[in-house]
Chain A
Amino acid sequence: MKFKRFTIPYILWLSLFIVIPLLLIVFYALSSGDSQNFSTFEFSFASLERFFSSPVYIKVLIRSVRLAVVSTVICLILGYPIAYIISKENPKKRNVLILMFVIPMWMNFLLRTYAWLTLLGKSGIINSIIMKLGFQPLELLYNDTAILLGMVYNFLPFMVLPIFSVLTKIDFKLIEAAEDLGANKITTFRRVVFPLSLPGVMTGISMVFIPAVSTFVISDLLGGSKASLIGNLIEQQFRYTGDWHFGSAMSIILMVFILITMALTSKFDKEKEGEGGGLW
């Protein structure tokens, strides 16, 4: 009980920077009027209606979710083996490998995304090698593949790290027991290691899915602003159009989507009762 008063700053922080802004977004989403003038506000579902009545916006949402799901799946397929291989190394080597994995993240996210422009461009490094070899240059930039590449590249560490941390914490005795009981390597992995690592996988999935579904920088730079994602639409409403109501309405819709994924993954977490690695 004594510790209770120590939580006050955190509660203040939470309400000031998370709860109140969230309520403001809900308030904006459910009202209409001049975004800058409170006196013109009226309660209305106009923004939500605008979103759901136009197939254009629904299509953008579906597209964003689709790209986010695909990039999450790719991150999982690539990330799990990486985490597994690294976790099997001896601790010294393991730390070096993880460090090497994390070092690129010390550089700014925007810069790393810009770097892909010079790699993928028509006169970029990859294409100039291809042309030297006598082939036609490829169209690598400004399409969905480039966006996916950007997402996977930027978010892969968020998949690897939680899985890695769960894998290293698995009690080795359990694996020995499985082997003693006659399980071969594949069965041990399938029946013991993988189920125990699921909490890390679930954390990884949410940590990749959430930034991927809401990104607007990657689709802007690598997608050439050709087809908006929901993140671009929200950015546009706040930065250029100044329609905070519509922007907030879309933010709420996006948040609901994210909440659904989180609810699904946390349900899974609880069922599996794994140790560590979970973020929430």
Chain B
Amino acid sequence: MKKVKSIALLLVILLISISLAACGEDKPKLNVYNWGDYIDMDVLDQFEDEFGIEVVYDTFATNEDLYVKLKQGGSSYDVIFPSEYMIERMVREDLLEKIDKANIPNFDKIGEQFLGLEYDPNNEYSVPYMWGTVGIIYNKTMVNEPLDSWADLWNEQYAGQIVMLKSQRDTLAVALKKLGYSLNSRNEKELEEAKAELIKQKPLVLAYMGDEIKDALISGEAAIGVVWSGDAVAMIRENPDLAYVIPKEGTNLWFDAMVIPKNAQNKEAAEKFINFMTRPDIAAKNADYIGYSSPVPEAVKLLPEEVQNDPVSYPTAEEIENTEVFKDPADIIQVYDRIWTEITSEE
């Protein structure tokens, strides 16, 4: 009797697992790997409904994280969202598939100033997704003077209230800019100086954070933080006491784009997805939700007036005059890695 029971149990388990496995086979799948908090989930549902493709959505925290995961293999994504310098590196290392423009009719909707940029001069590999700047966000009720400089992050008055990004390039860029160097510096002496600056700053820093930085500033846990412009928009929406500023030393102008990795399983669906995300109504809905700035002018026109005129999201040409775009550090990446490891190891 006991034997019969256990065999029956095994059969049931087998049946369940087969049926579960079968469920997954029904629809074609699209594996999307994006930054955390970087899409309106409704848009994904809409895509699933319109195209009958199941989206498997997963997130990463930094470009380096994405790169290592892609390079190590074992995971297959169809669409990923790296930033410009990482795209440059991935193209150099032949990790990306060329995109067939014929399948992306909405490519024409992308604003001209976002095309032909250095990281992908012929727009062969990438379709721009969002763009923005890096700046300082601060709580006006906790900081009694308007901030306007990276050096403010070294002001001892704000000890224990400053949050920095847990991201190698972005945080090094802050120190390099503070020192007046290029954020693409390849000079080891300059990089060592930046390292010393960041180590000097450490006692003043409350924590190094990824996406948690948003909660820390919204809740008043910290007074000052380094953030990407789009996050700043979302944060100010939640807590109007916050203000975003592009420091006078200049900052990083960045572009995130959608690309298809070499080992993609479903390139056709990937192109459909990229085209869908670039469609003005979808791009607008998405940009409105996450707070980042869309490179699709028609989409921007669909946004509420106050968003269109928000200098945080859509700064004037003058305001971004003093900006630099990240370049692939190529061979000097090891120096970056070593310096970052040393900064995080310091007590």
A residues near B (Cβ < 8 Å) are 36, 54, 56-57, 59-60, 63, 121-123, 139, 141-142, 223-228, 232-233, 236-243
Contact = CB atoms under 8 A, between A and B. Distances in A.
A205 to B, nearest CB: 26
Contact of B345 (A56, A240, A241, A243): A56
Contact of B206 (A54, A60, A142, A238): A142
Given A240-B68, A242-B68, A242-B71, A225 B344 contact: yes
B341 A233 contact: yes
B64 to A, nearest CB: 4
Contact of A239 (B65, B208, B220, B345): B65
Contacts of A239: 64-65, 68
B38 interface: no
A43 B149 CA distance: 48
Nearest to A222: B207
Interface in B68-99: 68, 71-73
A122 B64 contact: no
Contact of A121 (B219, B337, B342): B219
Contacts of B263: none
15 contacts: A36-B73, A59-B345, A123-B219, A141-B207, A141-B221, A225-B209, A227-B345, A228-B345, A233-B345, A239-B68, A240-B62, A240-B68, A241-B341, A242-B71, A243-B337
A217 to B, nearest CB: 13
B166 interface: yes
A236 B341 contact: yes
A224 B168 contact: no
B213 to A, nearest CB: 11
A59 B337 contact: no
Given A123-B219, A238-B68, A242-B72, A227 B341 contact: no
Contacts of A237: 341
B71 A36 contact: yes
B209 A224 contact: yes
B158 interface: no
B166 A225 contact: yes
A232 B347 CA distance: 13
A224 B204 CA distance: 13
Contacts, number: 73
Contacts of A233: 341, 344-345
B244 to A, nearest CB: 21
Going nearest first, the 9 A-B pairs with the smallest beta carbon separation are: A224-B207, A225-B208, A240-B64, A242-B68, A241-B337, A56-B345, A142-B207, A227-B347, A228-B344
A242 B168 CA distance: 13
B160 interface: yes
Given A123-B219, A226-B202, A236 B344 contact: yes
Nearest to B210: A225
Interface of B: 62, 64-65, 67-68, 71-73, 160, 166, 168, 202, 205-209, 219-221, 337, 340-342, 344-347
A241 B334 CA distance: 9
B71 A226 contact: no
A241 B344 CA distance: 13
Contacts of B220: 122-123
A18 B80 CA distance: 33
User: Which of A57, A123, A228 counts the most chain B CB atoms within 10 A?
Assistant: A228
B94 to A, nearest CB: 13
B165 to A, nearest CB: 10
Chain A facing B: main interface SS: loop
A51 B136 CA distance: 35
A226 B68 contact: no
B160 A139 contact: yes
B72 A36 contact: yes
A218 to B, nearest CB: 14
Contacts of A121: 219, 221
A137 B64 CA distance: 37
A121 B220 CA distance: 10
Contacts of A122: 219-221
Given A142-B206, A226-B202, A243-B337, A123 B345 contact: no
Contact of A123 (B62, B208, B221, B342): B221
B9 to A, nearest CB: 21
Contacts of A236: 341, 344
Contact of A227 (B64, B72, B346): B346
A242 B64 CA distance: 9
Contacts of B65: 239-240
Contacts of B72: 36, 242
B221 A56 contact: no
Nearest to B168: A240
Contacts of B341: 233, 236-237, 241
Contacts of A242: 64, 67-68, 71-72
Contacts of A223: 207
Contacts of B206: 142, 224
Nearest to A230: B345
Contacts of A241: 64, 68, 337, 340-341
A169 B127 CA distance: 68
Contacts of A141: 207, 221
Given A241-B64, A242-B68, A226 B208 contact: yes
A226 B207 contact: yes
A59 B344 contact: no
A56 B346 contact: yes
